[in-house]
Homo-oligomer: A and B are copies of this chain.
Amino acid sequence: MSLREKKIAKKKEEILRSAATVLAEKGYHGTTMEEVAANLLMTKGSMYYYFKNKDDLLYQCHQMIMELSLEKIEQVANSELNPIEKLRNAVKSHVLLATSEKSMFMMMDKPDQHFTGEHLEDALGQRRDYAHFFDKILKEGIEKNVFDENIDIRMVRFIILGALNWILQWYSEDGPQTSEEIAQAFATHLLKMVLK
């Protein structure tokens, strides 16, 4: 990657982060290009140098955070840990990522309300991929006889993902618990649900 390309990439990320912040606060339709730009002391027009249109901006926002998340969970799922540790790590890692990058995660909700066509396909695909890693861990846990064989994998996965995504709705840096503590608590309680 040339120097110039690096510079562009950096600027793009800057914009994406700004966008994510505003998007998280106001939602897709509630966010204006003006605001995203103002956030960066840029002008509306300049942003169109980097992104084709608002949809594109949103999509790439989604991409960025999705790639981050997928990378993390893939790493955990493919590690040499036992299923218990895998699940614990997956949960913790999601909590830590979500709380530290709250604004970016915020916009992962309701893809079908924001995306259409190919973008929607992509977004849903990535979401499925993410979910799949949890299924994999759960299945492995059952096979290895450390998780309760009666659990309904699909339901458990929905419960875990729901709990994790809900964090954005209530988490605040000034809350009574640090994100570490939350991660710990979530891991503990969710594990209790699946252990024998």
Tell me which residues across on chain B come within 8 A of A28, comparing CB atoms. Answer: 27, 29-30
Tell me which residues across on chain B come within 8 A of A167, comparing CB atoms. Answer: 158, 162
Task: Decide yes or no: A192 and B192 within 8 Å by CB, A158-B163, A162-B167, A167-B162 being known contacts.
Answer: yes
Q: Does A155 contact B (CB under 8 A)?
A: yes
Tell me which residues across on chain B come within 8 A of A25, comparing CB atoms. Answer: 113
Chain A contact-residue range equals 35 or more
Instruction: Quote the shortest CB–CB distance from A39 to chain B (angstroms).
Output: 17
1/0 per residue, CB under 8 A from B, across A10-39: the answer is 000000000000000111111000000000
Of the stretches A57-65, A67-75, A76-84, A183-191, the one at the interface is A183-191
Contacts A/B (CB < 8 Å), 5 sampled: A110-B169, A158-B166, A158-B167, A159-B189, A190-B193
